[in-house]
Chains A and B, each alone.
Chain A
Amino acid sequence: MHLQRNHGMLADVEIDPTLGDAVSIPAMVAKAAATSMKARQRQVTPKNAATRLLWVEHVARIRDHKDTQAFAELFGHFAPRVKGFLINSGADASLAEECTQDVMATLWNKAHQFDASRASVATWIFTIARNRKIDLLRRQRRPEPEDLTWGPEEEPDQADVLTLQQETELLGAALADLPHAQRELIEKAYFGDLTHSEIAAETGLPLGTIKSRIRLALDRLRHAMK
């Protein structure tokens, strides 16, 4: 499928009448390179909502039943990513390994704090990894906002969980579709390669819908606290 589309685009270059004789070799190379870049981006497929919901269930099984099978699956998927993320953020391999084990153990220990109406499992693991990164790499405290009351007895509504996970999937798809340069800039920001004054927050990504969902979840928690 991808390959066919690539051939099509390359064929366009060759027969495009508006380009005529003026097509220089470098221009063709550049266009071909851009095409293969696009193909590479398309190989980054965001996880579909069904997988995301499965992982949400895995976290619940760890919380409720100390289910090591569920943990092993989450570990297999996320631990290499966490380690890669930490290495890209400047940790050496041995610190990254130690820190990854620590992040995954935290997932087990704090499974009861995960709220699937506010975050995907990937989001939650990202925040744990980021906080450990600040502790270990920058040797700073990471002040966190005041907790809102949350506990297993206050299960979020399944419909809210589903919507949030679906919207995160849309965000993932939009990220995967970004032009390479823009996507790279966002990755650099999250790897800590940009200072806070270099970060451009205009990502062009659909963050607004997720933000509204999270806001609703926060309102429910505030209400439950009263």
Chain B
Amino acid sequence: MTDNIKHHLNDAVLMAYSAGSLPEAFNLMVAAHLSLCDACRARAESFDALGGEVLEQLESAAVAALRPGSYEATLALIAGGPVAEKTRDDLPCAVLPKPLRDYVGGDLNAVRWKPVGMGVKQAILPTSKDASARLLLIPAGTAMPDHGHHGTEMTMVLQGAFQDEDDYFARGDVEIADSDLHHTPVADIHEDCICLAVTDAPLQFDRLIPKIAQRFLRI
């Protein structure tokens, strides 16, 4: 099911996801990728195993005494009944993996796209401000303007594909770009390309018009 993915998350990102120290937008990227990629899910869960051992082996000085009555209070919590579990919405044919559907409020047809020029559309997802997440729709065959990157940017393909000077990215593939990468990705001709893009800094476009657009369109 998930064996076609060629561009994966790196260990540092997976360990940070397991440790819980990524900004929310990056957590969303990782959760979306793990929904599609069992290889990375297994790697992430092996870092969870390490977290479990850190917990298990806390030195006696770091283990904290509980408040008196702590156990009884916990039993009372349990007697109060479980918090209602979220109803499952299995949509095996959905374009958006479950964690993204939770942010969008549904699959693709629920996305509120805003045009950003040249037929490209985006939808910013509501995450914490330390990083941003957006869905991008790039019409088939369209080239994104030549651009560089500030900070770290990760882009995952959800539908269609794109190609840059070096590589080809299809559903589930993640491109990780840092400030060294300078490229002109082109959406595959066969289908509109839909991506999730997260960044901890704004993209920098090299041409005038996108630069102006960037300022008020929050690209």
* Residue B21, interface by CB 8 Å: yes
* Residue A27, interface by CB 8 Å: no
Known A83-B63, A196-B12; further 17 A-B contacts with Cβ < 8 A: A87-B62, A101-B70, A102-B77, A109-B82, A120-B49, A123-B45, A126-B52, A141-B127, A142-B27, A143-B24, A145-B98, A146-B99, A190-B19, A192-B19, A207-B43, A211-B43, A218-B42
* Residue B59, interface by CB 8 Å: yes
Q: Of B33-41, B142-150, B162-170, which binds chain A?
A: B33-41
A118 to chain B, nearest CB (A): 6
B77 to chain A, nearest CB (A): 4
Chain B residue at minimal CB-CB distance from A212: B42
Total A-B Cβ pairs within 8 A: 214
Question: How many B residues touch A, CB cutoff 8 Å?
Answer: 67
Pick the contact of A130 from B24, B51, B70, B88 — CB < 8 Å? B51
* Contact residues of A: prevailing secondary structure: helix
Q: Using a CB-CB cutoff of 8 Å, which residues 175-226 of chain A contact chain B?
A: 175-176, 186-187, 189-190, 192, 194-197, 199-203, 205, 207-208, 210-212, 214-215, 218-219, 222
- Contact B52–A81 (Cβ < 8 Å): no
Which residues on the A side are within 8 Å of B152 (C-beta)? 197
Q: Using a CB-CB cutoff of 8 Å, which residues 26-68 of chain B contact chain A?
A: 26-28, 30-32, 34-35, 38-39, 41-43, 45-59, 62-67
Chain B residue at minimal CB-CB distance from A214: B42
B129 to chain A, nearest CB (A): 10
Q: When A101-B77, A144-B31 are in contact, do A201 and B20 touch as well, CB less than 8 Å?
A: no
* Residue A10, interface by CB 8 Å: no
* Residue A72, interface by CB 8 Å: yes
* Residue A84, interface by CB 8 Å: yes
Interface residues of A (CB under 8 A from B): 44, 46-47, 68, 72, 75, 78-88, 93, 96-97, 100-102, 104-105, 108-110, 118-120, 122-127, 129-131, 133-134, 138, 140-147, 168, 171-172, 175-176, 186-187, 189-190, 192, 194-197, 199-203, 205, 207-208, 210-212, 214-215, 218-219, 222
* Residue B210, interface by CB 8 Å: no
* Residue B191, interface by CB 8 Å: no
Q: Using a CB-CB cutoff of 8 Å, which residues 83-131 of chain B contact chain A?
A: 83, 88, 97-99, 102-103, 127-128
